[in-house]
Structure formats: C-alpha cells, structure tokens
Amino acid sequence: MPDVPSSTPPPVNRRQFLRDGTRLAAMTGLGALLGLAATRTSTARGYVWQIDPARCVYCGNCATACVLKPSAVKCVQSYPICGYCDLCTGYFVPEPNGLNTGAENQVCPTAAIERVFIEDPYYEYNIDEDLCIGCAKCVEGCTRFGNGSFYLQVRHDRCLNCNECSIARVCAGDAFRRVPLTDPYVIKTTAHE
Amino acid sequence: MRLLRRIIALVLVAAWWSSGVSAWAELRFPPPEFETDYVMGGVTTPPPRALPFEYVDVAVLVGALGLGVWLVHRRRSRRGLVALSLFSLLYFGFYRQGCICAIGAPQNVAYGLFQPGYTIPLTALAFFVIPLVFALFAGRTFCAAVCPHGALQDLVLVKPVKVPLWLEQGLGTLPYIFLGAGILFAATGAGFVICRYDPFVPLFRLTGSLFILSLGGLFVVTSMFVGRPYCRFLCPYGALLRLSSLVSRWRVRITPDYCTQCRLCEHSCPFGAIREPVAPPAHPSALAPDRRRLGRWLAALPVLILAGGWLGSWLSVPASRLHPSVALVEQYLDPTKPEPVPGAPTPEIRALGRAELEAPELVTTAAAVRRQFTKGGWWFGGWVGLVIGARLISLSLRSTRKDFEPDRGACYACGRCYLACPNERVRRGLISPAEAAGLNANRPAATTTAPNRS
C-alpha cells in the first residue's frame, strides 16, 4: 500500500479498486439471487402449517414434538358432526366405572374436555384450549368408535410458523401440510374413516 | 335409548377389534335433533398473524439498520447502540420470538431455489438480503445492534477473556462450515439444521426441549466471559456478513480523525478485532519465506478442495439419514426389524397408507435424495476444503498498517473502542486537548487501560 499524504486526494489504490470491484460483484450476485428467488416467491400470500385430520394417526407426537410447551396443536370439536353421545368414547376410558366426570373415567390427561348435559340422553363436549395439550387421546377414541368430531388442528394464535415444523418432521401419518394463509384451517364437516 | 346407544358402542368396539381397521364413511351416530332450544357452537379458528405485520417487521429491520449505521458511523455512540440492541432484543427477540430471523434465512433461499413447490416467504428473502446490502456498505451494523442473538450475548458480556489467536483462527472456520451444512441440508430438503440447533431462540420463547435450553444457557454463560461466542464461532449468517464487511464502503474507525498510536484502545475490544500497526519489512528479502509459504498454500488449495469434496461425498450416507424419507425407508428395509404379525398391519404400512405412498415409490424417492446428497456432499466437502485453504492463505498474507484499526471482517461495530480513544474524548468535549496530549505520550501497552463498556 503506497504512502499517500492525507492532504492530497488519494488516488484509487489497488486494494481500494479490488474492494470496490468485489462489492460491485457481490451486489450483482445478490441481485441475481434476488431475481432468481423472486421467481420462487409468492407476493400475495404466505403459508402456514396445518394438520390434515384425514391423515392423523393420533400418535401423540403433537403434544411432545412442538417447540412450544404446551404444544400449538390442540383438539377442536366440530359440533355439527358430534353425536352428543352419553357414552362418549373421546371422553371416557374404555369400561368406565360410571358415566360421570370422575377423573378416573376420563381419557383426557388434563381434564380439558367439559361435559355439559343438554337433554336426555345428549351431552355436549367442549374443549378447554387452555388445558388441552394436543395429546390426541380423545381424538383416537372419537375417531375410532365415534363420529370423529374431535380432531387436532394447529392453533394459529399460538403457532410460530417455524421454517421447519418440528412436529411435521416426526409426524407418523405425514399429516402436516403448508396451507395458504387465507385458509389456515382444515375443518371437518363429515366424519373420516 | 341410552342403553341402545351403549349397545351400539359396544358392538362397534367389537367390530373394530375383529376387523382391525374400521372404515365408515358416514356418521356412526347421527347428530341428534334437539327438543330444547340448544344452540350449537362453531369451531373457533383464531387467524394467523396477518401479512401486513410481516411487512412491519421488514420496516423495523430497515429502520433499525439505518439507525445503527448512523450510530456507528456518524454519532459514534456506544450508548445509543446499547439502547438499539436492547430494543432489538425486545422486538426481534422476545416479541417476535426469534422468528423472523436473518440467521436461518440462507436456508429458506437454498430450500426455495432447489425444492420446487416451496415458495420463499417475501419477508425471509428481505431478511436475507437487506442486512447483507447494509454490510456491503457500512459493515456489520446488523450484528452490532439489530440481531437479537448478538444483542443478548453483547449485553451479558461482563468479563471478556482474550481468546488465543490460534483458537480464534481455528474456530473461526466453523461458521463457514455450518453455513455450508445448513445450505446442504436445506437444498436437499432434509431440514433446517441452523434453526433446529439455534441456542437462543428457545430462550426468547421461554420454552423448548431440555437439550436446546441447556445449550442456550451454556452459550449465555459463556458469553459472559467470551465475547459473542455464537457470533464469532458458529453463526452462519455472520460468516456471510463478515465476507460482505471485508469489502464495505465505510469502515468502523476507532479514532475520529488521526491515530496517535497511544495504544489506549488496544484492549478495549472484547472480540479481538483490533489489529496492531504492522511495519513494512525492513528489507524486501525478509518477505521471501512468507512468499514461499503463500505459494505453497495457493498450490495446495485445489488439492484441499478436491480432497474435501471426495471426503464429503462419503458423508452422503450418514448425512442423508436426516432426510425423513431416507430415514423412513431405512427403517422399512431394516433387516433386523421384527417379523410382522400375519393379518395385522405393521406401523410402517399404516404410515405409508396414511401418507398415500407405496413402498417402492418411497424407496425411489429416498434413492433420489441420496444421489442429491452425494452431489451435495462433493460441493459441501469442496467448500470445507476451500474454507480451510482460504484461512491458511489469509494467515500467510502480510498486511502493513500504520494505525490501530479494527479488522474489517471481525469488527461487530459495537462501538466499545470509541471512547477508549483520547481524540474521540476531545471531540466529545469530555477531556481537554491538553489532557489528551498527556495521554498521547506513547505509553507502553496496558498500564492504565481497562475494557471500556459504556
């Protein structure tokens, strides 16, 4: 590097020239990358993670694999397809002692399902989302023996929309999908299976 | 009625146990017709964060970067930078919970470019490009005060320990290797490893697995004594910023006007980024051994790249196991797996059925992924060879400098060194020029200097 007195305007030395050239090349490269990536980007809408209830195998990974504890996945209840059964297989363990709200009779480990009497013999079942951990135990009972009105959904008020959903990575049924931001839930209107 | 429903349920249970799989298209229990005036509830669907808010994030990023550049280059205020990094820590860290984040953005770009069907979110693209453009012009202002990871490590730094040069140089290659690995796994669709092993994001979320939370705790404790360990020795985006910053238009200067060689700033940098003046060699012949060494490393560079590539291609088998399809096929084809019970579907078959896949189709997919990994392994290995070779070459380069200057690439623009300079103190009116002249009397190193943290 030549010795340049600071009073005279410095001529462009070799290092400066290389630096400017590299910066220009880097800007061009970034521009090209941006252009290429812009062809692969969507301008209007984003995508979010969601569970396809038809593929869910109620393995329980949603409760444990999410980066959030408790999970962003919770059980939802589709009332129009619920049978309002007295013996709800999503609510009661197999062969319950009695059809009451006793903890030993409930399948839900956190007592997140509320059982409300409507009229004989119908009971309404509501999910308390603050308590639900997304373990899918009720989903299994309801889908196997009932109408399948309990199913898991990613709740977008909690989901952080990770680059790589850590539940999707371990999902046993390959049920996780990226769905458009404008239509972020897969709501059941009929029973699956 | 109640008894009837119970009987139906029991029959169904029996039917399920006998058939193995139940397949009922219509509702088993028709929804009741209520006699009371019961009103049925609906499914609540809380909406995701609306798209305009993502653009707010980009606007905050640009605003913070602009403010950072002003604070670093014009205002020269460490205090302002601390305030800005506190804001970034709160906004990008604890409010946005580390997502969206520039550190993982190279993976989004790689994934988007190599995996058809994935669209890169516009915000991820913006978070990838904008800090790099700023670094090309004004150095690592993103690291200084905008990145929440850097802010957290910088704010907890209490007693910096000097990292030995050999360790610094050796560990300094890790970010480039991690970047290469992140891009390899993203491009092949195996996952986002940079995000998966990010130690700070779980701290921002105040939740996570025990492993990653302990890793985060370890990094926070380390950063109390070693300046920015993640930024210096791991951050893959920092590697890109370092390269960009090497050719930046404006550089961080310790002194506002001229350096008096007082050595007061020498120990003010906790990241070992301040370089001492190096006199040109007394005689050109003294350069000969350096030149020979440089020539040797330059000649060795292609060999290193090729050897790295060859070794990298061997990594394809273990590395491809991170891809979910390959992992599933390996389990499926595992010769030691237990014999399936006749009549009962195995878990893999059920999983394949649910995924609407056939085993041969999956095996084909996995084989294609492994071929991609072989190709990617060559690239990755070659990249590692290039990184090591380039590091050896840069160590053999001799540069002369007259003043105490921050290294262009290594400087995080944190502003700690500014107030160590007596000329800066005069400029700020903190001391008189006469006092500065007393300090400037070319002292021996490290007698009165203490690391300056405003």
| Chain segment B391-429, per-residue pLDDT in tens | 999 998 888 888 899 999 999 999 999 999 999 999 988
Residues B453, B416 contacting (CB under 8 angstroms)? yes
Q: Do B43 and A76 touch (CB under 8 A)?
A: yes
Handedness of CA A138, A142, A148, A149 (dihedral sign): negative
According to the model, what pLDDT value does residue B398 have?
81
Residue-wise DSSP of B375-411: HHHHHHHHHHHHHHHHHHHHHH----BSS-EE-TTT-
Residue-wise DSSP of B195-206: HHT-SSHHHHHT
Mean pLDDT of B76-88: 95
The tally of domains found in chain B comes to: 2
According to the model, what pLDDT value does residue B280 have?
84
- Residues B239 and B295 occupy one common structural domain: no
Tokens of B312: 């990298």
- Residues B134 and B242 occupy one common structural domain: yes
- Residues B244 and B303 occupy one common structural domain: no
Confidence class for position B436, pLDDT limits 50, 70, 90: confident
Angle between helices A14-38 and B122-138 in degrees, nearest 10: 170
Considering B250, B267, B295, which residue would you say is the last residue of a domain? B250
Residues B319, B381 contacting (CB under 8 angstroms)? no
Q: Do B31 and A155 touch (CB under 8 A)?
A: no
A57, A67, A69 ranked by CB distance to B350: nearest: A57
Closest Cα in chain A to B44: A76
Which residues of chain A are within 8 Å of residue B16 when distances are taken between CB atoms? 144-145
Helices in B115-173 by DSSP H: which ranges?
A: 122-138, 141, 148-156, 165-171
According to the model, what pLDDT value does residue B105 have?
93
- Residues B213 and B313 occupy one common structural domain: no
Mean pLDDT of B180-191: 94
Please count the residue pairs, one from chain A and one from chain B, whose beta carbons lie less than 8 angstroms apart: 193
According to the model, what pLDDT value does residue B24 have?
41
* CA-atom Rg of chain B in angstroms: 29
Give the Cβ contact number of residue B256 at 10 Å: 14
Mean pLDDT of A37-61: 82
According to the model, what pLDDT value does residue A192 have?
56
Strand bridging mode A150-154 / B405-406: unpaired
Confidence class for position A9, pLDDT limits 50, 70, 90: low
Least confident of A8-22, A68-82, A126-140, B187-201: A8-22
Number of H helices, E strands in chain A: 3, 6
> What are the CA-CA distances from residue B180 to residues A50, B173, B234, B239, B378 (Å)?
30, 11, 12, 10, 11
- Residues B107 and B198 occupy one common structural domain: yes
Residue of A61, A163, A165 best to disrupt the B interface, most CBs of B under 10 A: A163
According to the model, what pLDDT value does residue B14 have?
52
Q: Do A144 and B16 touch (CB under 8 A)?
A: yes
Which residues of chain B are within 8 Å of residue A159 when distances are taken between CB atoms? 48
Any B CB within 8 A of A37 CB: yes
Mean pLDDT of B231-237: 96
Q: What is the dihedral of CA B6, B7, B8, B12, to 10 degrees?
A: 100
Confidence class for position B348, pLDDT limits 50, 70, 90: low
Q: What is the DSSP letter of B93?
A: I
Among B445, B418, B443, B391, residue whose Cα is nearest residue B162: B445
Residue of A4, A145, A171 best to disrupt the B interface, most CBs of B under 10 A: A145
Angle at A81 between CA A79 and CA A83, to 5 degrees: 90
Q: Is the pLDDT of residue B100 over 80?
A: yes
According to the model, what pLDDT value does residue A10 have?
61
In a domain, B8, yes or no: no
Q: Is the pLDDT of residue B158 over 80?
A: yes
> What are the CA-CA distances from residue A99 to residues A84, A94, A117, B38, B244 (Å)?
13, 11, 12, 22, 68
Distance (Å, rounded) from C-alpha B177 to C-alpha B385? 10
- Residues B235 and B293 occupy one common structural domain: no
According to the model, what pLDDT value does residue B450 have?
43
Which residues of chain B are within 8 Å of residue A1 when distances are taken between CB atoms? 400
- Residues B241 and B318 occupy one common structural domain: no
Mean pLDDT of B90-99: 91
Mean pLDDT of A35-44: 74
According to the model, what pLDDT value does residue B211 have?
93
Nearest Cα of chain A lies from the Cα of B432 at a distance, in angstroms, of 25
According to the model, what pLDDT value does residue B397 have?
87
Residues A73, A63 contacting (CB under 8 angstroms)? yes
Confidence class for position B440, pLDDT limits 50, 70, 90: low
Closest Cα in chain A to B113: A37
Q: Do B27 and A47 touch (CB under 8 A)?
A: no
Q: Do A147 and B38 touch (CB under 8 A)?
A: no
Annotated domain spans of chain A: 11-41, 47-180
According to the model, what pLDDT value does residue B230 have?
96
Q: Do B34 and A119 touch (CB under 8 A)?
A: yes
Residues B168, A141 contacting (CB under 8 angstroms)? no
3-state secondary structure of A42: coil
Considering B250, B278, B301, which residue would you say is the last residue of a domain? B250
Confidence class for position B22, pLDDT limits 50, 70, 90: very low
| Total residues belonging to chain A | 193
Average pLDDT, chain B: 87
Mean pLDDT of B90-117: 90
Q: Do A47 and B119 touch (CB under 8 A)?
A: yes
Domain that holds residue B298: 287-334+346-396
Q: What is the DSSP letter of A92?
A: B
Among the ranges B171-175, B288-292, B339-343, which has the highest mean pLDDT value?
B171-175
Distance (Å, rounded) from C-alpha B346 to C-alpha A105? 30
Among the ranges A104-108, B34-38, B52-56, which has the highest mean pLDDT value?
A104-108
In a domain, B138, yes or no: yes
Residues of A numbered 98-117 whose beta carbons fall under 8 angstroms of chain B's beta carbons: which are they?
A: none
* Percentage of chain A lying above the pLDDT 90 cut: 60
In a domain, B374, yes or no: yes
* CA-atom Rg of chain A in angstroms: 28
ipTM: 0.84
- Residues B111 and B223 occupy one common structural domain: yes
* Percentage of chain B lying above the pLDDT 70 cut: 89
According to the model, what pLDDT value does residue B446 have?
41
Mean pLDDT of B85-95: 95
According to the model, what pLDDT value does residue B180 have?
97
Confidence class for position A151, pLDDT limits 50, 70, 90: very high
According to the model, what pLDDT value does residue B357 have?
73
According to the model, what pLDDT value does residue B17 have?
47
Looking at residue B195, its amino acid is C
The residue with tokens 């490269």 is: A29
Any B CB within 8 A of A76 CB: yes
In a domain, B217, yes or no: yes
According to the model, what pLDDT value does residue B449 have?
42
In a domain, B439, yes or no: no
According to the model, what pLDDT value does residue A40 have?
75
Q: Max alpha carbon distance in chain B (Å)?
A: 107
In a domain, B440, yes or no: no
Which residues of chain B are within 8 Å of residue A89 when distances are taken between CB atoms? 9
- Residues B226 and B167 occupy one common structural domain: yes
Looking at residue B135, its amino acid is A
- Residues B235 and B107 occupy one common structural domain: yes
Nearest Cα of chain A lies from the Cα of B453 at a distance, in angstroms, of 32
Which residues of chain A are within 8 Å of residue B24 when distances are taken between CB atoms? 191, 193
> What are the CA-CA distances from residue B135 to residues B21, B41, B56, B405 (Å)?
59, 54, 21, 18
Average pLDDT, chain A: 88
B112, B136, B196 ranked by CB distance to A27: nearest: B136
- Residues B108 and B242 occupy one common structural domain: yes
Distance (Å, rounded) from C-alpha A76 to C-alpha A127? 7
Considering B250, B268, B299, which residue would you say is the last residue of a domain? B250
In a domain, B215, yes or no: yes
Residues A152, A74 contacting (CB under 8 angstroms)? yes
According to the model, what pLDDT value does residue B87 have?
97
- Residues B180 and B307 occupy one common structural domain: no
Closest Cα in chain B to A31: B129
